Amino acid sequence: MTSTADALQQRLAELESHLEQENPVLLSAVQSFRVIDRVAYRMGLLEPNQSFATQIPWWPLISILGTFSAGKSTFVNYYLGHKLQRSGNQAVDDRFTVIVYSPETVSHTLPGVSLDSDPRFPFFRMSHSIEEVAGGEGSRIDAYLQLKTCRSDRLRGKILIDSPGFDADAQRTAVLRITDHMIDLSDLVLVFFDARHPEPGAMRDTLKHLVADTIKRSDSGKFLYILNQLDSAAGEDNPEDVVAAWLRAIGEAGLTAGRFYTIYSPDAAIQIPDEHRRKRFEKKRDEDLGDIYQRMEQVEVERAYRIVAALRKSASDFTRNSVPLLQSAMRRWRRRTLATDSLLLIAAVGGFMTWSLQAGQWHGFDYEAGWLDLIKSIPWGLHSLEGSLVVLALAIHFGVRHLAALSLKPGLRKQVEHLHPPGDVMTAFERNTCFWRPMILGRPFGWGRRARAEIDEVLQGCESYIQTLNERFTNPKGLSEGERASARAPEAVSAAPQTAHESPLPTSEPV
C-alpha cells in the first residue's frame, strides 16, 4: 500500500510541475482536489493510494464516434499524417483505440490492460465497469481496448480516441458502457455518419443514441456532427439531396440547431470528373475541415473548463451524496443497534425476574430478607457473576452491532449503485461500524464543521477558477496583453487553497 501511495504521490508531483508552467488555474484545481482527498481519507472514503484527481483525465480528450464504415479511421490517419489505423469498407476494428504522442518514430500497439491499469488514461479500471454490465467480460479487457502511440505533432498535449463502428441495434452492453464513459470524459466528440448510406432514416435507433441522447446533455456543445465521404455523392444528378436526406433524418432525431459538417478525405477521394463540381466540393470540404481542425486545436480551452466542472461536481456530490448516504446509514445502524440492545435487555430482565420468582416459590424464598442470601448461594460469588454478565453483555452488544451493519448493507449498496457517489461509501460504512469505533456520536468519523468548511472553500474556489479562465480566454475590458497578464497573476494565486505546506496528492501526467 505504501509503495503504490508513494508512486501516486510522485505522479501527482509530476502533474503539478507540468501545470505550474502550462496552466496555473489547473494547478490550483489539483490542490483543491487534494483538499477533498484529505477529508475523504479521514472519513475512510478513499484509500491512501487513491485520489479524486486521478479519476479524470488531465490531458485534452477528443473522441471520434460514428457508424460502421463512416471513414473515422481514414479521418484519423489524414489528421495525424500517419497511416496508423486500418481502414476499409467493412468494419476492421472492434476495439476502442486510445492514441497518444510518442517521440519514437515507430508506432507501438499496446493491449487494453495498459489503459485499464494506468490512472493517467481515460479508461482506468474500465474492466470493473464492464464486469458490472456483462459478467465475465471484465477479464477480456484486451478485446475492448488498445493503446497506440504515434509521432505526430498534432497529438502533442492531447489524447485521441477512435471508437469501433456504432450500431445501436447490435451493440453489446459492454461497448455501450465504454461509449458512454468515453463521451462523458471527452472535451470534444466528433460524430461521423456515412454519406454513402442510402437510407439514413433506417438508422433510427442509432441516430437516437448518437444524436437524440447527446443534444439533451448539458455539454451538448462539444458534439460536432459530420457527414463524411460526401465525394461518393458527387456523381449523383443532385448531390444536395443526399445532404438534405441526412439533415432530415438527424432533424427528426432532435438536432435542429448547431453546425452540420460535410467532408471527405483528400487522400481517399473519388475522382470527380466535372471540374466545376469538384472545385465546389473541395471548397466546402476544406472550409469544414478547417473548422473541425480549429475546434480540435482549441480543445485545451474546453479541457480547462471541464476539469474545473469536474472539481465542482466532485465537491458537490461529496456533500450531497457521499456524506448524506454515509450519515443516513450510520443513523439507521445506531438506531437499529440501540433498539435491539433495548429489546434484549428488557427480555433479559424479564427472564431474570421470572426465574427469581420461580426460584423463590420453589425454595420458599423470603424476599424481604433473602436477596443477599440468594446471591451468596451462587457458587462463583457476586464479583464473578458481575464480570461474567459484563462480558456477556458486551459480546451480545458487539454481535448486535455487527448484525445491524450487515442488515443495512444491501440497501446501502443499491443506493450507491443508483447515485454513484464519490468515494467508496461501502468501505467507509464498514470502517465506521467496526467494533473499536464508538457509536455514541452517530455520525461518520472525520466529518464535522472543519471538513464542511474545507469542502465549501473548494466550491467557492471553483467560482474563482472560472473567473480566472474567463479573464485568460476573453478580454471584455479591452486590456492589452501585458495588462491582462498582470491582472491574472494575483487572481491565480489567491484562488488556490492555502495548502502548500502539505504533501501532494495522487494524480499524474499522461504519457
Per residue in 431-476, pLDDT tens? 888 877 777 766 788 898 999 999 999 999 999 999 888 887 776 5
Coil vs helix vs strand at 442: coil
First to last CA, the chain: 24
CA angle 78, 79, 84 (to 5 degrees): 65
- Give the span between the Cα atoms of 279 and 243, in whole angstroms: 18
Tell me the three cell numbers of residue 510: 499522461
Please list the ranges in the chain whose pLDDT falls under 70: 1-3, 87-93, 119-120, 167-172, 197-205, 235, 237, 255-258, 356, 359-387, 389, 441-442, 475-511
Structural domain includes residue 130 = no
Burial letters for 477-486: b for 16+ Cβ neighbours within 10 Å, e otherwise?
A: eeeeeeebee
Coil vs helix vs strand at 3: helix
- Give the span between the Cα atoms of 113 and 125, in whole angstroms: 9
Any residues with CB less than 8 A from the CB of 346 and at least 6 apart, and which? none
Tell me the three cell numbers of residue 373: 442470601
**Residues 293 and 323 reside in one and the same domain:** no
Q: Residue 218: what pLDDT?
A: 73
Answer yes or no: are the C-beta atoms of 447 and 324 closer than 8 Å.
Answer: no
Structural domain includes residue 99 = no
- Give the span between the Cα atoms of 403 and 395, in whole angstroms: 12
Structural domain includes residue 353 = yes
Phi, psi of 110 (to 5 degrees): -115, 150
Q: How many CA atoms lie within 13 A of 317 on its CB side?
A: 16
**Residues 232 and 257 reside in one and the same domain:** yes
Coil vs helix vs strand at 449: helix
Structural domain includes residue 328 = yes
Q: Residue 238: what pLDDT?
A: 75
**Residues 325 and 365 reside in one and the same domain:** yes
**Residues 86 and 231 reside in one and the same domain:** yes
User: Exposed (0-12), middle (13-18) or buried (19+): which is 162, by Cβ within 10 Å?
Assistant: buried
State the amino acid at position 248 in one-letter form.
R
Tell me the three cell numbers of residue 103: 517521440
Residue listed under C-alpha cell 449498496 = 413
Structural domain includes residue 46 = yes
Report how many domains make up the chain. Answer: 3
Structural domain includes residue 115 = no
- List residues bridging with 97 in a β-sheet: 146, 162
Q: Residue 41: what pLDDT?
A: 92
- Of the three residues 260, 281, 309, the one that is the final residue of a domain is 309
The number of helix segments (H) and strand segments (E) in the chain equals 17, 8
Tell me the three cell numbers of residue 113: 490492460
Burial letters for 183-208: b for 16+ Cβ neighbours within 10 Å, e otherwise?
A: bebbbbbbbbbbbbbeebeebeebbe
Q: Residue 482: what pLDDT?
A: 60
Answer yes or no: are the C-beta atoms of 299 and 158 closer than 8 Å.
Answer: yes
Structural domain includes residue 101 = no
**Residues 240 and 338 reside in one and the same domain:** no
Domain assignment of residue 40, given as a range: 2-55+448-495
Coil vs helix vs strand at 228: strand
- Can you give the CATH number for the domain in which 272 is found? 3.40.50.300
**Residues 357 and 416 reside in one and the same domain:** yes
Which tens digit of pLDDT belongs to each residue from 272-329? 788 888 888 889 889 999 999 999 988 888 888 889 999 999 999 999 999 999 999 9
pTM: predicted TM-score of the whole model, two decimal places: 0.70
Structural domain includes residue 509 = no
**Residues 15 and 81 reside in one and the same domain:** no
